[in-house]
Every structure is written in structure tokens, then in C-alpha cells.
Amino acid sequence: MKIHWKNKYLYWGLTAFGVVSASMLFYFFLFRMDVVFGTLRKLISIMMPVICGAIIAYLLIPIVNFQERHFYKYLIHKKHMNPSKRQRKVVRYVSIIFALIFAFLIIYSLLAMIVPSIIESIISIINDFPRYFQNIRHWLESLLKDNPEWQTTVFSYIEQYSPKLENFLNVQILPQLRSILQHLSTGVFGTLVFIKNLLIGLIISIYLMAGKEEFVTQSKMFVYAFLSTEHANSVVKGFRFAHRTFVGFIVGKIVDSVIIGILCYIGTTLIGTPYALLVSVVVGVTNVIPFFGPYLGAIPTAFIILMVNPMQCLYFLIFILLLQQFDGNILGPKILGNSTGLSSFMVIVAILLFGGIMGIPGMIIGVPTLAVIMAGIKTFRTYNLRQKSMPMDESVYTYMDYMNPENLSPVDLKEDESGMDMGEKKEEKEKDEEV
């Protein structure tokens, strides 16, 4: 029997079925969130090797592309060769191997040089805590010697809470560090799972990097097959924008943080800051987090230096303030530019929102993610305004009271206290922007 899809009863039946199904799904998601999130966590755990492979490939593809360009430049201009398909394939795999070796050497060098020193510094801090406490006590005595009342109050609080702090460090922190070291050296199930995911991810990343053009081609064909040409163009353009935003932000932020870490190490070494390497690593790593990163790194490191030498802590805070001003006003804008286009308010919203959902990784990728989302919303807004033949200039909507439905022009019902009409307000705004 032939089904007449234009039949109104069939239409209403399908509509009712869709509404009921959507309601049931909404009810399930609303009252069974534990099941939903549990399923998502299990799915992510199963797909973790693929996720690791995709991340590795995404980070290494710029290195592969850089090597391929130089290989082709050498073959074409130096050897006067036109690489065949087989030769291009060989160049691709050689570039992938070099990229993996390069990444491995960097990670190994950093771990070999930095991690042992950091662990040694942390253990030294915990073991020498009583001596650091006495240093702070002597410094406070000299500082408050002319104020006996303040001296009594401060020392009463110190004597009350210092044993608890010392006990926490010795009983909780130090055993945990030693346990982590033992687990890493002997190997536990979690470590084995991580190694398994990493190894499988490396294999997957090789396939992804080797066939990156094919994956892009298949994705574009899929988009153009199921969407209209106009919408497909928008989707492709959106993905291209997302790629530029993420690569520009993440790579730029990593480079910026490495430079800040190196400058911090040089500066702290010159002023004689204790545990200069540990402090610089913390400052450099936390600098990857936008906006809050410098403060997250400065607070614990300042506390560590305070325990050793209070005056060095003051010097460090002054130095870190100058360093962050240099990063925020000179180095950061030079490297990153306006790669996200987000205001300071939206940057804070992105960090808090994605940080609350995903933790530290969310704080790092939250800014470019929200930038992509906001760009998509603006594109959708522009598209709908264009479809309605309405003005797309933001200044038009700033001082209007409503839109005239007949000619789609802004209408200002009343003048403000200055007596300026809409045209004068727009001119005043333009003058302010020029200033």
C-alpha cells in the first residue's frame, strides 16, 4: 500500500509521536541524570584511546605539515623532482615519525630535568617545615616588637594552627607523594590503563595524520550530502573558524606560558628566590589558564617562599606582578592577538562555566570553545536578520525604542535628558569610539 505522506492525519500522527517521544526523553534526562552521566563516562572510558589519538594527531599535524612543506621544497627546488603519489606517501610517514620522535624527546627531556627537581623540592619543603616556621616566627617578632598586643594575638593563632598544619603536611601530603612515586615506579592498574590508552592512541594518531586529507574530504562530502549548499558552506566555514581559533589560542598560550616560565626562572634565580625551578614551573604551567592562571600560580608559590624567607616573598610578589603586567600587556597580545574576540566578562564566564564542568582542562579550552559558540550564535543572528531584511549594524539597535514594522527602520520615541535624537546619539557614539 502506498503511503501518502501529505495526508494530514499522518502528519498530525507523526507530530504527536515526536512530541511524546521528546517529552519522554526530557523526563528521562531530567530524572535519571545519574544514568545518563554514568553512560557518558563509560562511553568516554571506552573511547579514550580514540580521544587520545585525536588529541595527539591534532597537536602534531602542524609539525607534520611544516616538515612536509620543507621536504617538498627540497625535492622540487633542489632536486628538480615532481614527487609521485608513492613518494608523497613516503614523505608523509617520514614526517609523522619525525614529529612523534620530536614530541617524545621534548616530553622526556622535560620530565627528566624538571620532575625529579620538583619532587625533591616538595619533599624538602615538607621536611624543613619546622625550620621555616621558626623563620616566620622570628620575622614576625622583629616586625611586631613595638606592638605587644598584636604580637600576643598573632602568636596565639600561630601556636593554635601550626601543629595542625604541620601534621597535615607530614601525615597527608608527604605519604601521598611517596605513594604516587611508588605507584609510578612499580606500576598499578591505573597506570597500566593510561599506558594502554596512550599506546593505542599513538597508533590511532598515526592513521589520523596519514589520512588527514581523506578524513576531511569524507566529512565535507557528508555535510554537503545532507545539508543545503548554503548551510553546508556555513558549517564548513564554521569548522574552519573553530580550527583556527583553537590552534591559534592553544599553541599561542603554550608558547606564551613557556616564555613566561623561562623568564620567571631567570628572574627568580637573579633575585635569589628559593626553589626557583619549582616556582617557575608552577607559574608557567598555571599561566596556560587564562585570566585566573597567574593568580593560581602566584598564591601557592608565594606561600612557599614566605615560609623560607618573608623578604624574598615580597621581592617575588613584586617581580611576578611586573612579569604578569609584561605578559598581559605586551607578550600575550603580541603572541595571541585577538584570537578569540571575547570580552573580559565572557572570558571569566567561559573559565567558570567550563572549569566547573570539566575541571582544569575545561578552564584551558573554555575560552576558545565559548568563542566558537558565540561566533556561531552571531552568524545565526546575522542570517536571520538578513532573511528579515532588518539592519545588521549594532549601533542601530543601541538607541532605538522599537523597530517600525512597515519600513523596518528604528524609531526613537523620546529624547534623553541631553535632548539628542537618534542620529546625534549615533554620531556621539562614533566620536567616543574614535577617542
pLDDT truncated to tens, each residue of the chain (435 aa)?
455 545 566 667 777 777 777 777 766 666 666 666 677 778 878 888 888 888 888 888 888 888 888 888 777 777 777 777 788 888 888 889 998 998 888 888 777 766 676 677 667 766 766 666 666 666 666 666 666 666 666 666 666 666 666 666 666 565 665 565 555 544 445 567 777 888 888 899 899 888 888 888 888 898 888 888 888 888 888 888 888 888 888 888 888 888 888 999 999 899 888 888 888 888 888 888 877 777 778 887 887 787 777 788 888 888 988 888 888 778 877 777 666 667 777 778 887 888 777 777 777 788 888 888 888 888 888 888 888 778 777 777 777 777 777 777 777 755 444 444 445 555 555 555 554
Cα 358 to Cα 354: distance, rounded to the nearest angstrom: 6
- pTM equals 0.64
